[in-house]
Amino acid sequence: MESSSEPKPIITVGQHIQESQRAYPTATGDFSWLLDAITLATKIIESNVRQAGIRDVLGGTGLSNVQGELVQKLDRISNDTIVRCLGYRDNVGIMVSEEDDEPIVARDMGERGKYIVLFDPLDGSSNIDVNVSIGTIFSIMQRRADTPKSNAPLSECLQPGMNQVAAGYVVYGSSTVMAYTTGDGVHMFTLDPSFGAYVLTRENVKMPPEGKMYSVNEAYRSTFPEGYQRYLEWAKTKEAGNYSLRYIGSLVADFHRTLLRGGVFLYPPTGQQPQGKLRLLYEANPLAFIAEQAGGAASDGQMRILDKCPDTLHQRTPLILGSKHEVERVLSFVD
Ligand code: P6P
């Protein structure tokens, strides 16, 4: 039994992955090789984020992405960094980025490129210039050999979130924290800048089953479907227990708080975004996988996020994400 005086072991994310893969005799170390590329990319991104004010990386590129959003310089740097780090790993077959219209085929099927990595390289980028927390989100699936050759890469990517083999995020906040799951619990690591490694800080994270906190942009409330408006009315009542509102406007930061403190994050359909604003493949799916692994829940208001079969690569979805009981409470108004 470790006494409190004994120094805690230093377990890096790479060690943790390798140890967890030892439990699977058939594991080939492929996955840790892939996750190593992601951790490397996020360390490079973190370095750019921390020096944004010093290096010429702030501001827009003057370009718009497939979402029609202004691409910030750091968005582009982050995207190129991930593509470069992942492209070098021979087990990555296809990459899907929020910043690129089409899938990037790194290797054809059969050349070992068995994984598909889907990512939002720098979520919340509109907050970059005002020093608010931002994040990277990633989702990992396996390629499907059974897809028709016609448009294989694209159709291989259009898999339901339940097919994910891993998912994670990095939040560049007051500290840089990575959370990931491979379906065996959620584990968190903090980047120690003194030696540039992610060190295990929380293992088997569990989301509180409820929390008197909701996270939504209430500026659009009048255009939410009626059920959401009734939920927000209820949450303000004494009977509900006077919920508080926390909204950073950066999905990864709002989710990270919800994961640790409990509560519910909402991005409902709005007048401007009738399908919701957030993307299914590389935002809702990975965070839903993490939420469920931590005992939470994720729905689009009609169905479980992880059951949704995507039709298009950059498909948007309404999102209700957080503590199990809080998501159920929202659904009781919305259903
Ligand atoms: P709104 C950031 O631009 C983002 O994609 C998410 O990080 C965040 O949750 C959402 O948009 C905020 O959107 O409409 O409230 O500004």
Which of the 8 DSSP states describes residue 69?
Answer: P
Percent of the chain predicted with pLDDT > 70: 91
Which of the 8 DSSP states describes residue 283?
Answer: I
pLDDT(297) > 90 = yes
Q: What's the confidence (pLDDT) of residue 231?
A: 98
pLDDT, average across residues 30-50: 91
pLDDT, average across residues 288-313: 98
Quote the crossing angle between the two packed helices 30-50 and 73-87, to the nearest 10°.
Answer: 160
Q: Which of 218, 220, 270 has its CA nearest to residue 243?
A: 218
Output the six-digit token pair for 175. 């500290």
Ligand 1, CB cutoff 6 Å, lining residues = 123-124, 126, 217, 249-251, 254, 277
Q: Which of 198, 214, 278 has its CA nearest to residue 16?
A: 198
Q: How far is the CA of 33 from the centre of ligand 1 (A)?
A: 32
CA distances (Å), origin 35, targets 14, 128, 195: 8, 25, 19
Summarize pLDDT for 158-169 with one digit per residue, the tens: 999 999 999 999
Candidate of 75, 251, 317 to mutate for ligand 1, largest count of ligand atoms within 8 Å of Cβ: 251
Quote the crossing angle between the two packed helices 30-50 and 13-22, to the nearest 10°.
Answer: 160
Q: How many CB atoms lie within 10 A of CB 335?
A: 10
Which of the 8 DSSP states describes residue 207?
Answer: -
Q: Average pLDDT, whole number, for the chain?
A: 90
Residue the block writes with tokens 């255009």: 223
What does the alpha-carbon distance between residue 85 and residue 87 come to, in Å, rounded to a whole number? 6
Q: 318: pLDDT confidence band, cut at 50, 70 and 90?
A: very high
Candidate of 133, 223, 250 to mutate for ligand 1, largest count of ligand atoms within 8 Å of Cβ: 250
pLDDT(89) > 60 = yes
Q: What's the confidence (pLDDT) of residue 233?
A: 97
Give Rg (Cα) of the chain.
20
CA dihedral 62, 43, 177, 26 (to 10 degrees): 120
Strand 297-299 relative to strand 264-267: parallel, antiparallel, unpaired?
A: unpaired
Which of 94-108, 137-151, 257-271, 316-330 shows the lowest per-residue confidence on average (mean pLDDT)? 137-151
pTM score, whole prediction: 0.93
* Helix/strand/coil percentages in the chain, nearest 5: 35, 25, 40
pLDDT, average across residues 218-238: 97
Q: How far is the CA of 296 from the centre of ligand 1 (A)?
A: 21
Strand 176-181 relative to strand 186-192: parallel, antiparallel, unpaired?
A: antiparallel
Q: 84: pLDDT confidence band, cut at 50, 70 and 90?
A: very high
Q: How far is the CA of 335 from the centre of ligand 1 (A)?
A: 24
Please enumerate in sequence order all residues whose Cβ is within 8 A of that of 151, keeping only pairs 6 or more positions apart, or say none.
none
In ligand 1, the atom with minimum distance to the C-alpha of 273 is 14
Higher per-residue pLDDT: 186 or 57: 186
Q: Which of 91, 104, 101, 49 has its CA nearest to residue 73?
A: 49
Candidate of 69, 123, 248, 321 to mutate for ligand 1, largest count of ligand atoms within 8 Å of Cβ: 123
Q: Are 120 and 136 in contact (CB under 8 A)?
A: yes
By alpha-carbon position, which residue is closest to atom 13 of ligand 1? 249
Residue type (1 letter), 28: T
Summarize pLDDT for 172-208 with one digit per residue, the tens: 999 999 999 999 999 999 999 998 999 999 999 999 9
pLDDT(111) > 70 = no
Which of the 8 DSSP states describes residue 54?
Answer: T
Give the bridge partners for 215, in sequence order.
265
Q: How far is the CA of 128 from the centre of ligand 1 (A)?
A: 12
The top-scoring range by mean pLDDT among 1-10, 111-120, 144-153, 197-206 is 197-206
pLDDT(153) > 70 = yes
Q: What's the confidence (pLDDT) of residue 59?
A: 66
In ligand 1, the atom with minimum distance to the C-alpha of 252 is 7
Which of 40-44, 70-74, 274-278 shows the lowest per-residue confidence on average (mean pLDDT)? 70-74
Q: What's the confidence (pLDDT) of residue 52?
A: 77
In ligand 1, the atom with minimum distance to the C-alpha of 134 is 7
Structural domains in the chain, sorted by start: 13-202 (3.30.540.10), 213-334 (3.40.190.80)
What does the alpha-carbon distance between residue 287 and residue 251 come to, in Å, rounded to a whole number? 10
By alpha-carbon position, which residue is closest to atom 5 of ligand 1? 124
What does the alpha-carbon distance between residue 335 and residue 329 come to, in Å, rounded to a whole number? 10
Q: How far is the CA of 286 from the centre of ligand 1 (A)?
A: 16
The top-scoring range by mean pLDDT among 107-121, 143-157, 314-328 is 314-328
What does the alpha-carbon distance between residue 334 and residue 229 come to, in Å, rounded to a whole number? 9
Q: How far is the CA of 226 from the centre of ligand 1 (A)?
A: 21
Percent of the chain predicted with pLDDT > 90: 70
